[in-house]
């Protein structure tokens, strides 16, 4: 009986040790890889480049509004049925499409 009690104790202790090791922090910081923080000048250069890219993208996105088709959100009514034809009310945003059965953006 004593050997089975000792075996159970060792088994429980091993299980506790295994569970405690699983609780260790898995966070990795930049210091671990020896990466230095960029200085303010590099941040400013990156910010200017990002503003330039966003300015070009804005001109492309607003081209749908220039055509006279407004944008509508998800779940909004995007078309109307006129007999056998379907007329567009608005254009669904990026990643969405107008469902021809429900006539809503999904």
The tens digit of pLDDT for each residue in 14-26 reads 766 776 665 555 6
Task: Give the distance between the most distant pair of CA atoms in the chain.
Answer: 87
Average pLDDT over the chain, rounded to whole?
Answer: 77
**pLDDT confidence band for 71 (50 / 70 / 90):** confident
Element (H or E) spanning 40, and its range? helix 40-61
CATH architecture, range 71-106: Irregular (4.10)
**Closest to 100 measured CA to CA, from 86, 89, 82:** 86
How many of the other CB atoms lie within 10 Å of CB of 86? 14
Residue 60 Cα to chain centre, angstroms: 22
Query: In the chain, count of helices (H) and strands (E)?
Result: 4, 4
Which pTM does this prediction carry? Answer: 0.35
**pLDDT confidence band for 104 (50 / 70 / 90):** very high
| Domain-wise residue ranges, the chain | 71-106
């Amino acid at each position: 009986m004593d050997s089975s009690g000792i075996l159970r104790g060792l088994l429980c202790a091993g299980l506790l040790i295994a569970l405690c090791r699983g609780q260790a922090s898995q966070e990795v910081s930049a210091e671990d890889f020896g990466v230095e923080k960029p200085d303010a000048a590099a941040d400013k250069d990156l910010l200017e480049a990002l503003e330039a890219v966003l300015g070009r993208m804005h001109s492309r996105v607003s081209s749908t509004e220039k055509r006279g088709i407004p944008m509508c959100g998800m779940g909004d009514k995007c078309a109307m049925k006129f007999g056998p034809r379907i007329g567009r009310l608005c254009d669904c945003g990026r990643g969405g499409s107008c469902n021809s059965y429900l006539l809503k953006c999904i």
